[in-house]
């Protein structure tokens, strides 16, 4: 059975993706910073190695890579940092916090890709870097998180050009009813946003169909095919 490493699997999209792949019988390596939440989220699933820790910690990343072993089919860089809430305009964005956003959303995913390049190549594997519409749209207040996701998109595009034996995707899930979304819209009612489970079919379509490397929106992958 294939193996996937999913970061940030204790809730939201990471948890939903982990459950879907575990139900298919995949072996999983997963993480999140809060150990108890991670253990609770993975309860009842078989074939899961849960390693609590922070993706920005090189020692933790090394433990994830060790657990993945010599062959890895899929890496999902999902763990992410929004930054301050409410999000400040760039003119007053605290640069130390911007650094932490980039550490989590750009440097940690690339560091994991570097560590896992050999096992991913051994499997002719797939890298999924979870992006956002904030990477391509200029929403006021989203300059920190959005520019980090834009950097992640560009890393993904260059990796695709450099690693033709791999599939390298930037995957934009669209709005989801999650803790991060609530953090981005403090005090707002976000109950009209879809649950993260609603996005999983699009992610599975990407993994199953293995279209050419590139940037994909969940809404495009779930939309019915247009008749010629």
Ligand X SMILES: NC(=O)c1ccc[n+]([C@@H]2O[C@H](COP(=O)([O-])OP(=O)(O)OC[C@H]3O[C@@H](n4cnc5c(N)ncnc54)[C@H](OP(=O)(O)O)[C@@H]3O)[C@@H](O)[C@H]2O)c1
Q: Do 106 and 83 meet the contact criterion of CB atoms below 8 Å apart?
A: no
> Token pair of 30, please?
């997963």
Q: If binding is defined by CB under 6 A, does position 80 make contact with ligand X?
A: yes
CA distance 129 to 169: 6
Taking CB under 6 A as the binding criterion, the range among 9-17, 85-93, 136-144, 208-216 that sits at the site for ligand X is 9-17
Closer to ligand X by CB, 166 or 176: give it. Answer: 176
Contact 121, 165 (CB under 8 A): yes
**100 is a contact residue toward ligand X (CB under 6 A):** no
Residue ranges of E strands in 52-133: 74-77, 126-130
Question: In angstroms, how far apart are the furthest CA atoms of the chain?
Answer: 52
DSSP state of 97: H
Q: Which of 27, 132, 147, 213 is catalytic?
A: 132
Q: Which span sits near ligand X by CB under 6 A: 30-38, 86-94, 136-144, 156-164?
A: 30-38
Alpha-carbon span 156 to 169, nearest angstrom: 6
Q: Is residue 13 close enough to count as binding ligand X by CB under 6 A?
A: yes
Contacts (CB under 6 A) with ligand X, residues 166-185: 173, 175-176, 178-181
From the list 27, 147, 149, 216, the catalytic residue is: 149
Residue 212 CB, nearest approach to ligand X (Å): 22
- Nearest one of 200, 214, 209 to 169, comparing CA atoms: 214
Q: Which residues lie across from 216 on neighbouring strands?
A: 171
Q: Which stretch binds ligand X (CB under 6 A): 77-85, 114-122, 155-163, 213-221?
A: 77-85
The distance of closest approach from Cβ of residue 120 to ligand X in the complex, given in angstroms and rounded to an integer, is 19
Six token digits for residue 67:
């657990």
Which CB atom, from 35 or from 121, has the smaller least distance to ligand X? 35
Q: Is 10 a catalytic residue?
A: no
> Which phi-psi region, left, alpha or beta, contains residue 210 (left: φ > 0; alpha: ψ -120 to 50)?
left
* Residues that bind ligand X in the complex, under the rule CB under 6 A: 7-14, 31-34, 37, 54-56, 78-81, 104, 130, 132, 173, 175-176, 178-181, 196
């Amino acid at each position: 059975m294939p193996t996937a490493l999913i970061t940030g699997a204790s809730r939201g999209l990471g948890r939903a993706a982990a459950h879907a792949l575990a139900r298919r019988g995949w072996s999983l390596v997963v993480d999140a910073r809060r150990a108890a939440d991670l253990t609770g989220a993975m309860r009842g699933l078989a074939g899961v190695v849960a390693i609590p820790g922070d993706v920005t910690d090189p020692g933790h990343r090394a433990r994830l890579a060790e657990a993945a072993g010599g062959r890895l089919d899929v890496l999902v860089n999902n763990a992410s940092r929004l930054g301050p809430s409410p999000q400040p305009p760039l003119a007053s964005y605290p640069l130390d916090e911007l650094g932490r956003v980039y550490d989590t959303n750009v440097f940690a995913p690339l560091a994991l890709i570097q560590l896992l390049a050999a096992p991913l190549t051994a499997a002719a594997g797939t890298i999924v870097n979870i992006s956002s519409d904030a990477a391509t749209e200029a929403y006021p207040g989203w300059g920190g998180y959005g520019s980090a996701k834009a950097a992640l998109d560009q890393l993904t595009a260059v990796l695709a050009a450099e690693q033709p034996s791999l599939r390298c995707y930037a995957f934009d899930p669209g709005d989801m009813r999650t803790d991060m979304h609530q953090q981005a819209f403090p005090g707002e009612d976000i109950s009209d946003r879809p649950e993260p489970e609603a996005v999983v079919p699009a992610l599975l379509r990407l993994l199953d169909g293995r279209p050419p490397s590139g940037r994909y929106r969940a809404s495009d992958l779930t939309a019915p095919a247009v008749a010629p």
